[in-house]
Structure 1
């Protein structure tokens, strides 16, 4: 398998342990998408299913993806596995759920908090997750490629953390070239399939 561009930066990314601070709800780190990884993501969008999901330990997830993803998208898989390892180290979870989803609608357009303890997001293609700390009066958006950790309401002591609400960026009002997203989501394996809790209409 080819060497993943993300792998060499994982030590630096361990700064994401800051998400474990009692008063923090979001941790974001901007990362570029190297051309080789961009090509793998585009190849996946051209040929692969709308939703790819695997559950289990890291070796089990790797085996599931190896059997389902073509060679031209393998660099994308390695990046996902590296981030799953990062998530496991930060969260302490050993059994994970890793989802790669093609999004073309205004899904999850309401600001909300997830019904999980800790979630990792990375958008390989298209705009990143949006969030607000003031009920939607001002909105921040993660750039493409950024790795974002979000606390959910099941995180121990969540009620003491700063309340950050997030949503998928609405796509319908954007230029045609920006109306598709390829989104990676990593959770603990027992997280429900649609683990969202709406907070703001």
Structure 2
């Protein structure tokens, strides 16, 4: 069993994620290039894992629940997702997390929007990542697979529309070859969809 994540001491939050506390910062992204073991595990999850793993709890509870659903050869994916959950817990300061690992094969969330949460962490393991833009701009930014995206939601303390960042799932239904996105979403435990 992994060690419990520490609560939110600022020194435990690595750059660039500390920047999310700035009033003028609505999105932080971290470039990542994952190893072959994680990419192979993600492909195996797409082939043999559940379409949706959605649970709420502490890191320890999430690890226990996730372990019961792991297809053979996907431990590296689970370890990476749980490490991201630890990072999210340090950033959010919440004891529990809503953990959602989902296969997306269609256009979900086509409209640019801001979530009704304090903070949301996204990582797309396979397929195209989240698209985002500033509220006052038409320039759309595409996020590469495996990058970490941290977004402020409407419930973040002091959030305002000035400088806000909107995001959406990338359209994939019109692609010439079918794509399955494997998307990890980490949220506040009371985020919508937990009912």
TM-score by structure 2 length? Answer: 0.88
**Cα displacement (A) at 1:107:** 0.8
- CA deviation vs aligned residue, 1:3-55 (integer Å, no higher than 9, x gap): xxxxxxxx895431211111111000110121110000000000111101121
- Which position in structure 1 is the counterpart of 2:186? 186
Equivalent residues in 2 for 1:151-166 (5 A)? 151-159=152-160, 162-166=163-167
Q: In the superposition, relative to structure 1, how do residues 174 and 136 fare at CA in structure 2: closer, same or farther (>3 Å)?
A: farther
SS across alignment from 1:176: coil
Within 2, Cα distance between the matches of 1:171 and 1:82?
A: 28
- CA deviation vs aligned residue, 1:163-198 (integer Å, no higher than 9, x gap): 111000000232315x2200000001111118xxxx
Q: In the superposition, relative to structure 1, how do residues 20 and 100 fare at CA in structure 2: closer, same or farther (>3 Å)?
A: same
SS across alignment from 2:34: coil
Higher helix share: 1
Equivalent residues in 2 for 1:64-103 (5 A)? 64-103=65-104
Q: In the superposition, relative to structure 1, how do residues 114 and 12 fare at CA in structure 2: closer, same or farther (>3 Å)?
A: closer
Within 1, Cα distance between the matches of 2:59 and 2:66?
A: 11
Maintained 8 Å contact 1:130/1:168: yes
Q: In the superposition, relative to structure 1, how do residues 166 and 71 fare at CA in structure 2: closer, same or farther (>3 Å)?
A: same
Q: In the superposition, relative to structure 1, how do residues 135 and 49 fare at CA in structure 2: closer, same or farther (>3 Å)?
A: farther
**Cα displacement (A) at 1:57:** 0.6
Gaps of 5+ in 2: 2-11
Within 2, Cα distance between the matches of 1:152 and 1:63?
A: 29
Runs of at least 4 residues off by over 4 Å: 11-14
Within 2, Cα distance between the matches of 1:102 and 1:189?
A: 21
Maintained 8 Å contact 2:101/2:182: yes
RMSD: 1.9
TM-score by structure 1 length? Answer: 0.86
- Which position in structure 2 is the counterpart of 1:50? 51
Within 2, Cα distance between the matches of 1:134 and 1:93?
A: 28
Gaps of 5+ in 1: 2-10, 195-201
**Farther off after superposition, 68-77 or 103-112:** 68-77
